[in-house]
Amino acid sequence: MSLESDARSYIADKLGSSYINHLGWRDMWAFIFQRNNIQKKAFAESYQKSPDFNSWGNEVLVRTSVRRESGMQDECNWEDDERNRRRRDFCEKYEGYEGVCRCE
Protein backbone atom coordinates (compact mmCIF):
# COMPACT_ATOMS: atom_id res chain seq x y z
CA MET A 1 0.00 0.00 0.00
CA SER A 2 1.36 3.44 -0.86
CA LEU A 3 0.70 6.77 0.78
CA GLU A 4 -1.16 9.29 -1.33
CA SER A 5 0.24 12.80 -1.65
CA ASP A 6 -2.35 14.33 0.71
CA ALA A 7 -1.39 11.84 3.44
CA ARG A 8 2.31 12.55 2.88
CA SER A 9 1.65 16.29 3.00
CA TYR A 10 -0.25 15.96 6.27
CA ILE A 11 2.52 13.88 7.87
CA ALA A 12 5.17 16.36 6.69
CA ASP A 13 3.34 19.64 7.33
CA LYS A 14 1.18 18.88 10.35
CA LEU A 15 3.18 16.18 12.15
CA GLY A 16 6.70 17.32 11.28
CA SER A 17 8.23 14.42 9.35
CA SER A 18 11.46 15.19 7.48
CA TYR A 19 11.59 11.95 5.50
CA ILE A 20 8.01 11.12 4.50
CA ASN A 21 8.37 12.72 1.07
CA HIS A 22 11.52 10.64 0.39
CA LEU A 23 9.86 7.35 1.30
CA GLY A 24 9.84 4.89 -1.56
CA TRP A 25 9.26 1.21 -2.34
CA ARG A 26 10.71 -1.03 0.40
CA ASP A 27 12.33 1.86 2.25
CA MET A 28 12.31 1.57 6.04
CA TRP A 29 10.91 4.43 8.13
CA ALA A 30 9.98 4.96 11.75
CA PHE A 31 8.33 8.09 13.14
CA ILE A 32 7.36 8.85 16.72
CA PHE A 33 5.12 11.77 17.54
CA GLN A 34 2.68 12.77 20.24
CA ARG A 35 -0.76 14.16 19.63
CA ASN A 36 -3.01 15.76 22.20
CA ASN A 37 -5.97 18.11 21.95
CA ILE A 38 -3.70 21.14 21.74
CA GLN A 39 -0.68 20.21 19.63
CA LYS A 40 1.22 17.56 17.71
CA LYS A 41 4.92 17.16 18.46
CA ALA A 42 7.51 15.04 16.59
CA PHE A 43 10.08 13.32 18.82
CA ALA A 44 12.17 11.07 16.60
CA GLU A 45 12.43 9.81 13.06
CA SER A 46 14.68 7.41 11.19
CA TYR A 47 14.87 6.46 7.51
CA GLN A 48 16.83 3.97 5.41
CA LYS A 49 16.61 3.91 1.62
CA SER A 50 16.20 0.58 -0.16
CA PRO A 51 19.34 -0.20 -2.20
CA ASP A 52 17.32 -1.49 -5.16
CA PHE A 53 13.80 -2.45 -6.25
CA ASN A 54 14.06 -6.06 -4.97
CA SER A 55 15.63 -5.39 -1.55
CA TRP A 56 14.40 -3.88 1.68
CA GLY A 57 16.16 -0.92 3.25
CA ASN A 58 18.30 -1.50 6.33
CA GLU A 59 16.48 -1.68 9.64
CA VAL A 60 15.84 1.53 11.48
CA LEU A 61 16.28 2.12 15.18
CA VAL A 62 14.64 4.98 17.02
CA ARG A 63 15.15 5.80 20.67
CA THR A 64 13.45 8.64 22.41
CA SER A 65 11.68 9.58 25.60
CA VAL A 66 8.12 10.79 25.45
CA ARG A 67 6.49 12.31 28.46
CA ARG A 68 2.86 11.29 28.88
CA GLU A 69 0.74 14.45 28.79
CA SER A 70 -2.88 13.79 29.55
CA GLY A 71 -4.29 17.25 30.20
CA MET A 72 -7.60 15.71 31.35
CA GLN A 73 -7.69 17.71 34.56
CA ASP A 74 -7.37 21.02 32.72
CA GLU A 75 -9.33 20.33 29.57
CA CYS A 76 -12.52 18.54 30.61
CA ASN A 77 -15.19 20.14 32.77
CA TRP A 78 -16.87 16.87 33.69
CA GLU A 79 -19.25 16.88 36.64
CA ASP A 80 -17.47 15.74 39.82
CA ASP A 81 -19.14 12.41 40.50
CA GLU A 82 -17.96 8.80 40.94
CA ARG A 83 -18.50 7.88 37.30
CA ASN A 84 -16.48 10.81 35.98
CA ARG A 85 -13.71 10.30 38.56
CA ARG A 86 -13.31 6.72 37.27
CA ARG A 87 -13.48 8.02 33.71
CA ARG A 88 -10.78 10.63 34.38
CA ASP A 89 -8.52 8.04 36.05
CA PHE A 90 -8.95 5.70 33.08
CA CYS A 91 -8.29 8.39 30.49
CA GLU A 92 -5.13 9.58 32.24
CA LYS A 93 -3.69 6.04 32.06
CA TYR A 94 -4.79 4.81 28.63
CA GLU A 95 -4.74 6.39 25.18
CA GLY A 96 -6.85 5.62 22.15
CA TYR A 97 -10.32 5.70 23.74
CA GLU A 98 -11.54 8.94 22.22
CA GLY A 99 -15.18 7.94 22.52
CA VAL A 100 -14.80 7.58 26.28
CA CYS A 101 -12.21 10.28 26.90
CA ARG A 102 -13.58 13.14 24.82
CA CYS A 103 -14.48 16.20 26.84
CA GLU A 104 -17.84 16.58 25.07
- 86-96, pLDDT tens digit by residue? 988 888 888 77
Q: In the prediction, which pLDDT does 37 show?
A: 62
- 4-26, pLDDT tens digit by residue? 889 999 999 988 999 999 999 99
**Residues 8, 68: Cα–Cα separation, whole Å:** 26
- pTM for the model: 0.61
| First-residue to last-residue Cα distance in the chain | 35
- 45-80, pLDDT tens digit by residue? 999 999 999 999 999 999 998 876 655 445 678 889
Residue-level length of the chain: 104
Q: Residue 34 in contact with residue 69, Cβ under 8 Å?
A: yes
